[in-house]
Amino acid sequence: MPAALLQLAVVVPTFNERANVIELIARLHALLRDIDHEIIVVDDDSPDGTAEAVREVAREDRRVRVLQRVGRRGLSSACIEGMMTTAAPAIAVIDADLQHDETLLPQMLERLTSESLDLVIGTRNAGGGSMGSFAESRVRLSEAGRTLSRLVTHSELSDPMSGFFMLDRRFLEEVIGSLSGVGFKILLDLIASSARPVRFVEIPYHFRERLHGESKLDVVVGLEYLLLLIDKKIGDLIPPRFVVFGAVGGAGVVLHLAILWALLRLGGQRFLVAQAVAAFVVMTVNFFVNNALTWRDRRLRGRAVMLGLLQFYAACAIGAFVNVRVAAYAIQHGTPWYLAGLAGLLVGSVWNFAVTAATTWRVRRRRRARPAAAA
Ligand code: GDD
Ligand code: MN
């Protein structure tokens, strides 16, 4: 008898979901008894040992695989890379914490294939679905996001934030080259990356309570959402990270002027002293803000923060020098003062961005303890 063909892959992104994911795998196998399937857990090196716990299961069960990413974070990129590891013609993405209703999967697969759709989406907002006991503020935030999403998707999605969907792998191959991979909103990314209208249906479900552990969504996720929208709108022209870096720098200019004013007017300091203090404070603040926002996924922690801060000072000092040289050159060649000033600022910021991206916030691997050699 020929082996059955692989029909479905279920991609499960995890971060600290050790207790939940094992239960989910058991439920999926029971549910998908009659469907040839595999389960791909994409874990971002969770400190709670999620990856190893799943590998233990995988040793006895070849339908289960783990992709453990080291030194990386991000829900969207985890889903994308997980989807790219499978040969299955249909690929589902589902959270590990059992908040999504996995019992929908067979029905989703049925509709995806019988109606030749690109996508089947589990939705919490259409008839019959619900946000469950989601906090009021989360519901409102979600609605705001939905309104914004129309900007990039050009389609009426009732739950564009959904992290629960199934897609046809041909659709994935169509859009893979255009995906942004930032933040949480993988579904929106997929739809906004399509050059043609996407054939999708939505199936309502009730969003359940998280089984164990806590949500990884926080305020900064909102910022990442804006990043995704920016990237989809103008990402070909300007890298979205540079937009954030520039915004942080712009806020820094305002802070600089405020400090300068306070030191001169209230503190009676000499101009050069005030200017130097303001520059130093603003560089320091900018470093921490960039560390928390712009480079959140490569955030420096512990001892690395001090070294990073020193590198940041050095880069900014050279950036300021370049800034002044460019502006001086422009002025000498008859450029009006405001354009010369802007040119200096622009070149200086690009310098700061590029250099700190390659040094302070370069991709590094987490140092890990070597497992003790077997005796
Ligand atoms: N690999 C990886 N890397 N997985 C992650 C990461 C990450 O950086 N961050 C979160 N996850 C995993 C979690 O372990 C979980 O399985 C799933 O992604 C969803 O994360 P939650 O922290 O449970 O998110 P939530 O329940 O608050 O958010 C839900 O609603 C959002 C919309 O409001 C999810 O369904 C989201 O997908 C959805 O966008
Ligand atoms: Mn959740």
Provide the 8-state DSSP code for 267: T
Q: Do 172 and 213 touch, CB atoms closer than 8 A?
A: no
Q: Do 163 and 80 touch, CB atoms closer than 8 A?
A: no
Q: Which residue's C-alpha comes closest to atom 17 of ligand 1?
A: 95
The continuous run of DSSP H or E covering 204 comes out as strand 200-204
131 lines ligand 1 (CB under 6 A): no
> Of the segments 73-87, 169-183, 333-347, which one has the largest average pLDDT value?
73-87
CA dist., res. 251 & res. 272, Å (int): 21
Six-digit token pair at 111?
A: 């509709």
Q: Do 64 and 41 touch, CB atoms closer than 8 A?
A: yes
Q: Measure 97 CA to ligand 2 centroid, in angstroms.
A: 6
> Is the pTM of the predicted complex or chain greater than 0.85?
no
Burial of 297 (0-12, 13-18, 19+ CB in 10 A): middle
Q: Measure 131 CA to ligand 1 centroid, in angstroms.
A: 15
Q: How many C-beta atoms lie closer than 10 Å to residue 375's C-beta? A: 3
For position 375, what pLDDT does the model report?
42
pLDDT, tens digit (0-9, with 9 covering 90-100), for 264-309: 988 888 888 888 899 899 999 999 999 988 888 888 988 889 999 9
Residue 276 CA from chain centroid, whole number:
36
pLDDT, tens digit (0-9, with 9 covering 90-100), for 158-190: 888 889 999 999 999 999 998 887 767 889 889
The letter for the amino acid at 302 is G
Q: Measure 372 CA to ligand 1 centroid, in angstroms.
A: 33
Q: Does position 106 have pLDDT exceeding 80, yes or no?
A: yes
141 lines ligand 1 (CB under 6 A): no
For position 154, what pLDDT does the model report?
65
Among 25, 75, 125, 210, say which to mutate for ligand 1: greatest number of ligand atoms within 8 Å of CB: 75
Among 93, 134, 217, say which to mutate for ligand 1: greatest number of ligand atoms within 8 Å of CB: 217
pLDDT, tens digit (0-9, with 9 covering 90-100), for 4-23: 899 999 999 999 999 999 99
